[in-house]
Structure 1
Amino acid sequence: MAAQCATEVDDNPLWNFALQFYASKDVQELLLTLQDDYQQDTLLLLTALWLANEGQSWQLTSEQLDDYHQWRANVIWSLRAARKAIAKDNTSPEQLTLRQQIQKDEIRAEQIALHQLYSLHSESKHKANHAQLAYKNLMIQAELAEATLIKADIKKEALGPLFQQLADLLVSQ
């Protein structure tokens, strides 16, 4: 099943993990805080956590993520901006319907992005403590995105406690 899932956008282990893990209100709030206040990429954070859950280390380089970053900037962020441009309140039923459709498209674009990330990782597994590995993976992906941190004037040390909370949530589920 895992080998088959690797080629299917609609059903791969990373997507399934993301859906299940993100279903927790605590996880949603923490990931949105990291995204909105610390300019962290939610999909990369979910990938780092999934890898830790699978006993794997982060293996991707920033060069390997180029296509993913292009997809995120051109498609996901464009859809997100379009969705946010339509207010939730005081809109016509037609506008609300359009907003809901854009949100569905945004989620589909994120699903495609997670498939890209899943496809990039090899099948080799390195067993380790899941909480420690989750924290390590989160910090590695933050280092890869260090230009974003510098631009936003965010100290990498500020992310540590939030990443530890995510790692603890991963282990507690």
Structure 2
Amino acid sequence: MAAQCATEVDDNPLWNFALAFYASKDAQELLLKLQNDYQQDTLLVLTALWLASEGESWRLADAQLEDYRHWRQHVIWSLRATRKAINKDNDSAEQLALRQQIQKDEIRAEQIALHQLYGLYAAVSGNQAPTTVDLQQTLSNLFSQAELGQTEFGQTGSDQTADIKKEALEPLFQQLADLLVSQ
């Protein structure tokens, strides 16, 4: 039953994890700060956290994320831009209803993206969930996904720039790891 459900967009372990983890206000704030201030991909961060909760290492290479990135750029980001273009303080009930529908579609697009990411790991994952989450594994996964993001956004730069970014991300990643461990 679990294997069957895991192949469906509506119910897979990564999606279920993302819903549960994002339900925490602290997690929401950290993830949005990473997204807005540090150009971190929230779905990749959630994937890194989920992998750590499963006792798995980050193993995706940049090339494996091509389909995911195409979907994110052309669907998720387009929906997000459209939603943000409609003022949420608008007096028009029709426009507010449209904004709410677009937000639902954006969440559904993110669910599809998480299904894509889950599919990349499902074939190689065979571990049972550990009894405790390893803090170092969690941090390693978070920094591994962040390195992919640096190349994607053209932030390769110097080693000094990478060290500064790592230094800025470290306390935020530590807070996320602590949240995961405390669940």
Q: TM-score, normalised by structure 2?
A: 0.89
Give the equivalent residue in structure 1 for 2:120: 120
5+ unaligned residues in a row in structure 1: which ranges?
none
Aligned-residue RMSD, C-alpha: 1.9
Q: 2: distance between equivalents of 1:76 and 1:24?
A: 22
Give the equivalent residue in structure 2 for 1:2: 2
5+ unaligned residues in a row in structure 2: which ranges?
none
Give the equivalent residue in structure 2 for 1:130: 134
Q: 2: distance between equivalents of 1:133 and 1:151?
A: 24
Give the equivalent residue in structure 2 for 1:150: 155
Q: 1: distance between equivalents of 2:30 and 2:54?
A: 21
For residues 125-155 of structure 1, give each alpha carbon's deviation from its aligned partner in whole angstroms, at most 9, with x where no partner exists: 3968522111110000011111227289772
Between the two proteins, the alignment pairs up a number of residues equal to: 173
Q: Partner letter of residue 141 of structure 1?
A: Q
Structure 1, 107-116 or 86-95: larger mean CA deviation: 86-95
Deviation of residue 5 (structure 1)? 2.3
Q: 2: distance between equivalents of 1:84 and 1:30?
A: 20
Q: 2: distance between equivalents of 1:2 and 1:149?
A: 39
Contact 2:15 2:115 in 1 (8 A): yes
Q: 2: distance between equivalents of 1:50 and 1:9?
A: 17
Contact 1:149 1:155 in 2 (8 A): no
Q: Partner letter of residue 126 of structure 2?
A: S
Q: 1: distance between equivalents of 2:69 and 2:175?
A: 26
Contact 1:15 1:111 in 2 (8 A): yes
Matches within 5 A, 1:99-114: 99-114=99-114
Counterpart check, 1:164 vs 2:166: no
The structure 1 segments of at least 4 consecutive aligned residues displaced by more than 4 Å after TM superposition are 126-129, 151-154
Question: Helix, strand or coil: the match of 1:64?
Answer: helix
Counterpart check, 1:75 vs 2:75: yes
Deviation of residue 3 (structure 1)? 1.2
